[in-house]
């Protein structure tokens, strides 16, 4: 397992670095065996709060969690606990997918997904691009894309469909089900 600690807004003491490394190594128990795994922990100080973001890159996907508290150690603890939980959930879904077979799991997954909680409307703001990301579109099936969307806690996921070799998008609908958009053009 490769890991690194990145900080922003403060310089971590040796004890914070050691603590973070110790907690990251705790993930070794729940990480998939045999895969080359990369773990990044980002610690950021904003005013009086510390944000700990843990990203795990494994074969077949990316998992990410983020926790914010007033104490750097508590943020690290919460983020590592959340990542352990997410890794266990990932393993269970991977086993379910293997048991169910690739065909039809999208329907099974849609039945398992709880309805989304309605969010409060925010005041209208001017739209501006505040962050740009680049991704390699890995060919994958619809079911794998749905699993990736869930593991990243996103409402949508863009991917290259391995069956059609075209760009597709899966998204969570308001009723909690999953939608698929196939682009034409």
Tell the residue number behind the tokens 């739209």, with chain if given: 127
Point out which residues pair with 12 in neighbouring strands: none
Domain coordinates in residue numbering, the chain: 2-100, 105-116+134-182
- The H-assigned helical ranges of 9-54 are 14-26
Length of the chain: 185
Q: Supply the pLDDT for residue 6.
A: 85
The confidence score (pLDDT) of residue 112 equals 52
pLDDT of residue 117: 39
What is the block-wise mean pLDDT of the chain (185 residues), using blocks of 10 residues?
84 90 86 74 88 85 89 93 87 69 50 44 61 84 91 90 93 92 84
Q: Spell out a b/e string for 157-183, using b for 16 or more CB atoms within 10 Å of the CB, else e.
A: bbbebeeeeeebbbbbeeeeebeeeee
Fold for the domain defined by 2-100? Double Stranded RNA Binding Domain (3.30.160)
Instruction: Give the angle 182-131-172 at the CA atoms, nearest 5°.
Output: 35
What pLDDT shows up at residue 126? Answer: 64
Query: Which pTM value belongs to this model?
Result: 0.57
Q: Which CATH number fits domain 105-116+134-182: 3.30.460.20, 3.60.60.10, 3.30.505.50, 3.40.50.150?
A: 3.30.505.50
Helix (H) or strand (E) holding 41: strand 38-46
């Amino acid at each position: 397992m490769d890991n690194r600690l990145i900080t922003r807004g403060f310089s971590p003491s040796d004890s914070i670095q050691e603590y973070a490394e110790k907690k990251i190594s705790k993930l070794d128990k729940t990480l998939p065996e045999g895969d080359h795994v990369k773990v990044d922990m980002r610690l950021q100080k904003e005013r009086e709060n510390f944000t700990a973001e843990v990203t795990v890159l494994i074969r077949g996907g990316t998992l990410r969690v983020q926790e914010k508290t007033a104490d750097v150690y508590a943020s690290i603890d919460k983020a590592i606990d959340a990542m352990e939980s997410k890794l266990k959930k990932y393993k269970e879904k991977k086993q379910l997918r293997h048991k169910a077979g690739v065909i039809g799991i999208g329907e099974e997954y849609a039945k398992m997904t709880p309805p989304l909680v309605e969010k409060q409307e925010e005041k209208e703001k001017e739209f501006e691009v505040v962050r740009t990301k680049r991704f390699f579109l890995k060919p994958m099936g619809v079911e794998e894309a749905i699993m990736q969307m869930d593991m990243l806690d996103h409402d949508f996921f863009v991917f290259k469909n391995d069956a059609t070799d075209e760009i597709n998008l899966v998204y969570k609908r308001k009723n909690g089900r999953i939608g698929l958009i196939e682009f034409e053009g």
